């Protein structure tokens, strides 16, 4: 650690990416300050506890805090490296188009402006539109009012490639890209991540690194859209889409993904729009895939409401709110959107089971009842499986007898 810095690393944002990253650096001997604007989050981490659900993250954070290498605060302090890991959502424009919202990144940049100094390394981990790393450089020069010139700092984009539920393993074992505004910045970033990353770290420029992460998630989104479109076609033609995909995938060069109620999470449902926003006339396939996947929740909602018309006083049980199986992450979750819309449109009794949360999100409080799966199913006329959590997959089909079942994940398909 440099004697001129109190911290080796300052991580801006202590969410699903920032907290694991800060903690793993700390357990490898780096002096780390984690910064978050939410005081509750800061207090929780300083107690050696966590505010998000991720296997073994509590053990890592506890060890990092107890070692004295990790602490949290609401404001940054001088450090040799600043890692920005804040949200990058999109906002809807008046014309219906979607534009990346970089306000969280800009706020983080302005926050560190008073403590950066010549020679510091600035790393953007947040998934961002192409050119964002350059914007960070320009914002910092402006925010420091000339105290720091454009070439005084090193800038790099190092996107994460980790999956909720397997974050700690994949932080270490997944390949990474270190894309710098200069070769020196890329090399410095690579050397830093070699502290804990056992996989290969590829050097590139910042724009290529930014586009690589967007490309990875857009590729997945397009392939999911193919599966979701197939499910719509099969419904119209009276074909079991799950059986169809199983049979088609017997071809040695075919690997169709599984359809679902939509696409969620902080990456796949968002990142393709960054490419569309940058090149709207060129990104036609990527846009269409997004539109297919974004329309799937409404299709499921209409299916549920249509089935409900068969009953005089129907009770609906929705299983799952998270964006994917076996996590508590509700960000951009199609399951949550479906339940929110059902709560708005359906006037009967709506029950919800989500085993990974202790209380309903604010958007559902007072509108639906949170129940255990067996209780919800026992009361329901219609059971809607939205997330393939393990407890749901292991349910006996006997408990579903005499009920209308809408299985959006193929969990109970023969």
**What are 322-366's pLDDT values in tens digits?**
999 998 889 889 999 999 999 999 989 999 999 999 899 999 999
User: Strands 90-92 and 98-100, how do they pair?
Assistant: antiparallel
Find the catalytic residue in 10, 158, 197, 267. 267
Instruction: Tell which wins on pLDDT, 310 or 163.
Output: 310
Mean pLDDT of 278-298: 95
Clarify whether 362 is annotated catalytic: no
Give the 3-state secondary structure of 351-414: EEECCCCCCCCCCCCCCCEECCHHHHHHHCCEEEECCCCHHHHCCCHHHHCCCEEEECCCCCCC
Question: Could you give the strand order of the β-sheet that contains 404-407, starting from the edge strand earlier in sequence?
Answer: 369-370, 349-353, 315-319, 382-385, 404-407
Q: In whole angstroms, what is the distance from residue 160 CA to residue 265 CA?
A: 14
The string of pLDDT tens digits covering residues 13-55 is: 999 999 999 999 999 999 999 999 999 999 999 999 999 888 8
Q: In whole angstroms, what is the distance from residue 261 CA to residue 409 CA?
A: 7
Q: In whole angstroms, what is the distance from residue 287 CA to residue 266 CA?
A: 17
CB 179 within 8 A of CB 210: yes
Confidence label for 315 from pLDDT (cuts 50, 70 and 90)? very high
CB 323 within 8 A of CB 262: no
Q: In whole angstroms, what is the distance from residue 322 CA to residue 401 CA?
A: 25
End-to-end CA distance of the chain: 58
190 sits in the region (left: phi over 0; alpha: psi -120 to 50; else beta) called: alpha
Closest alpha carbon to 400 in 414, 386, 381, 387: 381
* Cα dist from 342 to 106, 298, 304, 306, 316, whole Å: 36, 10, 8, 12, 9
For residue 175, with 0-12 CB atoms within 10 Å meaning exposed, 13-18 middle and 19 or more buried, which class applies?
A: exposed
The string of pLDDT tens digits covering residues 113-136 is: 999 999 999 999 999 999 999 999
Q: In whole angstroms, what is the distance from residue 113 CA to residue 293 CA?
A: 40
For 129-269, list the strands marked E by DSSP.
154-157, 176-180, 201-205
Find the catalytic residue in 190, 213, 296, 324. 213
Q: Which pLDDT value is given to residue 5?
A: 56
CB 78 within 8 A of CB 31: no
For 42-175, list the strands marked E by DSSP.
70-73, 79-84, 90-92, 98-100, 121-124, 154-157
DSSP H helix total and E strand total for the chain: 14, 15
The string of pLDDT tens digits covering residues 262-285 is: 999 878 888 999 999 899 999 999
* Cα dist from 29 to 67, 73, 173, 195, 198, whole Å: 9, 19, 19, 9, 16
Confidence label for 95 from pLDDT (cuts 50, 70 and 90)? low
What 3-state class would DSSP assign to 278?
helix
Count how many residues are written for the chain.
414
Q: Which residues pair with 123 in a beta bridge?
A: 83, 156
CB 261 within 8 A of CB 304: no
Q: Is the pLDDT of residue 222 over 70?
A: yes
Six-digit token pair at 181? 């505004």
Q: In whole angstroms, what is the distance from residue 306 CA to residue 295 CA?
A: 17
Six-digit token pair at 110? 């302005």
Domains and their CATH numbers in the chain: 7-199 (3.40.50.720), 216-407 (3.40.50.720)
Six-digit token pair at 217? 């998630």
Q: Which pLDDT value is given to residue 3?
A: 39
Clarify whether 318 is annotated catalytic: no
Q: Which pLDDT value is given to residue 94?
A: 72
């Amino acid at each position: 650690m440099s004697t001129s810095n109190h911290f080796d690393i300052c991580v801006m944002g202590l969410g699903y990416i920032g907290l694991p990253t800060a903690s793993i650096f700390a357990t490898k001997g780096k002096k780390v300050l984690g910064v978050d604007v939410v005081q509750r989050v800061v207090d929780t981490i300083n107690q050696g506890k966590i505010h998000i659900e991720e296997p073994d993250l509590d053990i890592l954070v506890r060890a990092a805090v107890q070692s004295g290498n990790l602490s949290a605060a609401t404001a940054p302090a001088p450090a040799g490296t600043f890692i920005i890991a804040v949200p990058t959502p999109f906002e809807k424009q008046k014309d219906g188009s979607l534009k990346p919202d970089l306000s969280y990144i800009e706020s983080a940049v302005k926050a560190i402006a008073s403590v950066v100094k010549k020679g510091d390394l600035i790393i953007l981990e947040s998934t961002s539109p192409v050119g964002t790393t350059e914007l960070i450089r320009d914002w910092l020069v402006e925010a420091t009012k000339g105290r720091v010139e454009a070439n005084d700092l090193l800038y790099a984009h190092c996107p994460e490639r980790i999956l909720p539920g397997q974050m700690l393993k994949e932080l270490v074992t997944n390949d990474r890209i270190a894309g710098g505004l200069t070769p020196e910045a890329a090399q410095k970033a690579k050397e830093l991540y070699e502290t804990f990353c056992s996989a290969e770290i590829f050097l590139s420029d910042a724009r290529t690194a930014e586009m690589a992460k967007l490309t990875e998630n857009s590729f997945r989104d397009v392939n999911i859209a193919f599966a979701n479109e197939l499910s719509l076609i099969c419904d119209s033609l009276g074909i079991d889409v799950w059986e169809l995909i199983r049979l088609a995938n017997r071809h040695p060069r075919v690997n169709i993904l599984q359809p679902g109620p939509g696409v969620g999470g902080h990456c796949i449902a968002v990142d393709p729009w960054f490419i569309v926003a940058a090149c709207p006339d060129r990104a036609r396939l990527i846009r269409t895939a997004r539109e297919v996947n974004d329309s799937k929740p409404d299709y499921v909602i209409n299916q549920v409401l249509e089935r409900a018309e068969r009953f005089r006083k129907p009770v609906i049980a929705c299983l799952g709110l998270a964006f994917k199986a076996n996590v508590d992450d509700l960000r951009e979750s199609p399951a949550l959107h479906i339940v929110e819309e059902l709560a708005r449109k359906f006037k009967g009794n709506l029950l919800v089971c989500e085993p990974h949360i202790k209380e309903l999100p604010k958007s559902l409080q007072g509108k639906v009842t949170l129940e255990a799966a067996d209780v919800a199913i026992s009361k329901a006329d219609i059971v809607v499986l939205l997330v393939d959590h393990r407890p749901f997959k292991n349910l006996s089909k006997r408990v579903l007898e005499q009920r209308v079942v809408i299985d959006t994940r193929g969990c109970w398909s023969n």
